[in-house]
Amino acid sequence: MPLQRMPEVISGLQRVIKSGGRAYWVCPLVEESDKSDLAAAEQRFEDLSKIFGSQVGLVHGRMTAKEKQQVTEEFQTGAIKLLVATTVVEVGVDAPDATVMIIEHAERFGLSQLHQLRGRVGRSDKPSSCILLYLDPLGKTAKQRLEIMRQTEDGFEIAEKDAVLRGFGDLLGVQQSGQLRTRFADLAIDGELLEIARTQARMEVENDPELIGNRSEALKTLLYLFEQDQALLLLGSG
C-alpha cells in the first residue's frame, strides 16, 4: 500500500489491537535525519503513542541489551500491543500471538530482509497479514521486489529472485553483487550446467594434478581465453 494510505492502516490497526491482537511496525531508521526522507522509529513511536498510549513500545539497536529484552518481553506477554522497531526484530523476537507486520518504506529493504521480517508473524493458527508501505513513485527494481513478496512465501524462490535482481557478482573475483560479466552464462538458468562443469573440473584435477596432459593443456587454454574475455568486458564497462 502507498504511504498516502497510512490513515487506513492505522484505523485497521486500532481494530486489531482493540480485539486483543498484537502488531509490529518496522521503520528503516532509528531517528530522523535532515538528509533522508525515510521513516524514523523514534518519531513513529511518538506519533503512534498519541493514538495508542502506553500500548506502544519501542526497540532499536542503540538500546542496551537489557532495555531491548524488557520491551520485547512486554510485547511477548501482551503488556505492549504494538512494537515499533527497526530491523533489530528481524531475528530473535518470537511473539506467536502477533498477527500484523507493517513495514514502512518497504521499497528500501532487500528481499531477504522483507522475507525475514514477514516471518515474525503467521506463527500461530491465527490469520496474519504483512503490509508493505511504499513511497511513490517506485523504481523498477523496488517494484519488482514488492511484487515478488506478494507472489510467493517460498524462501528458496525469493533467494533466487533476489540474486537475479542484485546480480551474482564475479565468478573469478571479489565482487559479491552486480551483473555477472559473462556473455552467455546465466546462473539462474544454467545452474545444472555449472554443476556439471564443476564436477568435470574436479575430476581433471584429481586425474592430472600437475595439469600436464593434453586435455589439461586444452583446459588451460580455455581458461586463459575466459580470463581475457573477462578483462575485455571490464575494460569495456570501465
Span 197-217, average pLDDT = 82
Task: Give residue 99's pLDDT band: very low, low, confident or very high (50, 70, 90).
Answer: very high
Tens-digit pLDDT profile for residues 12-58 = 999 999 999 999 999 998 887 666 667 799 999 999 999 999 999 99
Instruction: Name 224's Cβ contacts closer than 8 Å, sequence gap at least 6.
Output: none
CA distance 207 to 203: 6
pLDDT computed for residue 222 by the predictor: 75
Q: Which helix (H) or strand (E) holds 83?
A: strand 82-85
Least confident of 92-101, 106-115, 151-160, 195-204: 195-204
* Residue 181 pLDDT exceeds 90: no
Instruction: Name 5's Cβ contacts closer than 8 Å, sequence gap at least 6.
Output: 133
pLDDT computed for residue 15 by the predictor: 96
pLDDT computed for residue 44 by the predictor: 94
Hey, is 172 helix, strand or coil? coil
pLDDT computed for residue 107 by the predictor: 93
Task: Give residue 238's pLDDT band: very low, low, confident or very high (50, 70, 90).
Answer: very low
Query: Which residues in the chain are classed under CATH 3.40.50.300?
Result: 3-166
Q: Which residue has the higher pLDDT, 213 or 19?
A: 19
Q: Does the domain formed by 3-166 have CATH 3.40.50.300? A: yes
